[in-house]
Amino acid sequence: MLDPDWVGQWQETMQAADSTFLEGVNKMFQQAVAILDLPPVLAEQIRECNSVYEVRFPAPTSKGWRVFRGWRATHSEHALPAKGGIRYAPDVHQDEVEALAALMTYKCALVDVPFGGAKGGLRIDPREYTEDDLKAITVRFARELIKKDYIHPALNVPAPDMGTGPREMAWIVEAYRQVHPEDIDAAACVTGKPVELGGVDGRTEATGRGVQYALQEFFRHPEDVRDARLEGTLAGKRVVLQGLGNVGYHAGKFLEEEDGAVITAIIERDGALHSAKGLHVEDVREHLRETGRVQGFPGAEYVSDGRALLELDCDILVPAAMEGQITSENAGRIRARLIAEAANGPVTYEAHQILRAAGVMMLPDMYVNAGGVTVSYFEWTRNLAHMRHGRMQRKMMQSRMDAAIDVLRAVSKGELAPSLEARLRHDVDELALVRSGLEDTMLEAYQRIRDIWRSRDDVPCLRTAAFVSAVSRIADYYRRFAL
C-alpha cells in the first residue's frame, strides 16, 4: 500500500476529478504516440472517432410506447468490418461508446484481428422490460442502424456486451434478414449468436476464457511474476472477483476449477461475499440466479459495501464489471499484487499512475478481455465460409491419431497408458479448435507486449506496451495503404 501522505499530495495536485474513460484512453494513446514519434497528422487520424450515429426512436412496450436513445460509434475503418458490441445500460452515453470503440480499434490491432473498432449503446435498463418488450425495442434499434449500414456483414458487425447476449443477436439477425433477404452472408452481420443460428461453440465463454489464458501466460514468465511480488503458479492464488456477469463468471469458474485459484471474494451490485477458505463460483452464480442478489449466500461473510472489497488483501484482483471502479480516491488502498482488467477501463488513468508507482502489476484491458473479439473473428469467418470449423479436417486428424497410436503401441510392445491414449483420441471438435485458436492468440499477444516492455527503457508498463504495439500496427497500415 502506498504512503497515505504521498497519495494525499497526488490528489491535491489534480486539477479536477479523474479523467473520463475517453480522456484516459486518449492519454494512453498520446503516450504511445510520443514513444513512437508519429507525425501529428497521422496521430490525429488514428485517434479521432470516424463517425458517431445517434438515434432516437419510438417502440411499443407493455407499458405503452416509449422513445429510446442509442448510439453506434465507428472509431476506425482502417480494416473492415468495424467490430464492437452493443451494450444496454441505463447510464450509457456517447463518450462511453466512443471510448469503447477506440479501445476496440487498439484491441483488434493488438491481437492481430483484422477489424476496425466500433461500439454501440442503448440507454435502457433491460430489467425493467419483458422479453417481448426487449425484442420489439431491439428490432427497432437494429433497423435504425441497418438502414445506415451501421449493421452490415462487410462494414459494421456488432456483438453482445453488457446487458445483451445471444438472444439479442438472434433478433438483430432476424431484423437484418427482413431488410436484406438477398444477402447470403446475413448471419455474419453480428457475432455472439446462438450456435444453431450460426454461432460458434465457445463464444459465450470466450472473454472469460481469454482472461484465464492471459493469466496463465503471465505466470509462465517467472521474471514477470517476481515483479508482481508473487511466486509459483496460479494454484492457491487468492483472487478477488468483481462482477459475476458472463465475463466474471467464466473467468472465475475456470481459474477456480482448472487452475486451482482460490476465489476469496465476489463483488456484485447488492454487495459482496468474502471467505478466506474460498467461494465456489458455480454455487454463488446459482444463488444469484435464484434470488437476484448475493446476500444470503450460506457459508460466507456478506459485506453491503461491495466496492470496499476491492481493497482486500489478495494476490490477484479481477475487475470484471464497469469502467472507473478503481480511481485516484481508492487506488492508494488497493492491496492486490496483480490486477487483470477483465472489464473495459476499470482503472482510471490517474489510478493507473498511483498503482504503478506502488509496484502493482496490471494486465491491461485491451489484452486481457480480447478473447471475445478473437472468437467473434472465428465466428465471422465461419459465417462467411458457410462451413463449421474443422469440417474438412476432422476425419483426417482422427486417422492420423489412430496411426500415431498404432506406432506407439508397436514401439512399446502393445502397452500404452490409457490416459495417453484417451488424450490422443480426444475428438477435435469445433470447441477444441476455438479454444486452441484463442489460447494461441493470447499467448502471441502477450509475447509481443512483453517484448516491447522488456526491451525499451521508455516503456514503463504492460499497458503502455500494449498501446505501443497496437498503435504501431495501425500506423503501419496507414503508411502503406491509406490514400
Q: What is the pLDDT of residues 243-270, one digit of tens each?
A: 999 999 999 999 999 999 999 999 999 9
Q: Measured between alpha carbons, how far is 349 from 327 in angstroms, rounded to an integer?
A: 8
Instruction: Single out the residue of 243, 189, 218, 175 nearest to residue 368, CA to CA.
Output: 218
Burial (CB count <10 Å: 0-12, 13-18, 19+), residue 370? buried
- Does a cis peptide bond (omega within 30 degrees of 0) precede residue 81? yes
Q: Which fold does the domain 51-197 belong to in CATH? A: Rossmann fold (3.40.50)
Q: Measured between alpha carbons, how far is 320 from 249 in angstroms, rounded to an integer?
A: 9
Query: What's the rounded mean pLDDT across residues 333-346?
Result: 98
Query: What's the rounded mean pLDDT across residues 378-390?
Result: 91
Average pLDDT, the chain: 93
Q: At what angle do helices 371-385 and 206-218 cross, to 10 degrees?
A: 130
**CB-CB contact of 146 with 114 (8 Å):** no
**Does residue 54 register a pLDDT over 90?**
yes
Instruction: Single out the residue of 121, 102, 107, 114 nearest to residue 20, CA to CA.
Output: 102
DSSP assignment of 7-66, as one string?
A: HHHHHHH-SSSPPPHHHHHHHHHHHHHHHHT--HHHHHHHHS--EEEEEEEEEEETTEEE
DSSP assignment of 303-351, as one string?
A: ES-GGGGGGS--SEEEE-S-S--B-TTTGGG---SEEE--SSS-B-HHH
Q: Length of the chain in residues, anyone? A: 483
Order of all β-strands in the sheet with 316-319: 301-303, 271-274, 262-268, 238-242, 316-319, 338-340, 361-363
Burial (CB count <10 Å: 0-12, 13-18, 19+), residue 426? exposed
- What pLDDT is attached to residue 58? 97
How do strand 338-340 and strand 316-319 relate by DSSP bridges? parallel
Q: Measured between alpha carbons, how far is 483 from 478 in angstroms, rounded to an integer?
A: 8
DSSP annotation of 120 reads: E
The domains of the chain are located at 51-197, 200-390+428-483
Query: What's the rounded mean pLDDT across residues 296-311?
Result: 96
- What pLDDT is attached to residue 10? 43
Residue 355 confidence class, pLDDT cut points 50, 70, 90: very high
Residues 6+ apart with CB under 8 A from 205: 250, 254
Catalytic center residues: 119
**Does residue 6 register a pLDDT over 60?**
no
pLDDT tens sequence across 131-178: 999 999 999 999 999 999 999 999 999 999 999 999 999 999 999 999
Q: Measured between alpha carbons, how far is 81 from 354 in angstroms, rounded to an integer?
A: 37
Query: What's the rounded mean pLDDT across residues 359-364?
Result: 98
**CB-CB contact of 428 with 434 (8 Å):** no
Task: Write out the three cell numbers for 57.
Answer: 426512436
**CB-CB contact of 22 with 93 (8 Å):** no
Dihedral angle at the C-alpha atoms of 224, 226, 231, 233, nearest 10 degrees? 0
The CATH H-level (homologous superfamily) assignment of domain 200-390+428-483 is NAD(P)-binding Rossmann-like Domain (3.40.50.720)
Reported pTM: 0.91
Centroid of chain to Cα 78? 21
Residue 429 confidence class, pLDDT cut points 50, 70, 90: confident
- What pLDDT is attached to residue 13? 43
Long-range contacts of 181-188 (CB under 8 A, 24+ apart): 183/153, 184/386, 185/153, 185/154, 185/383, 185/384, 186/153, 187/153, 187/383, 188/153, 188/157, 188/380, 188/383, 188/384
Q: 51-197 and 200-390+428-483 share one CATH topology? A: yes
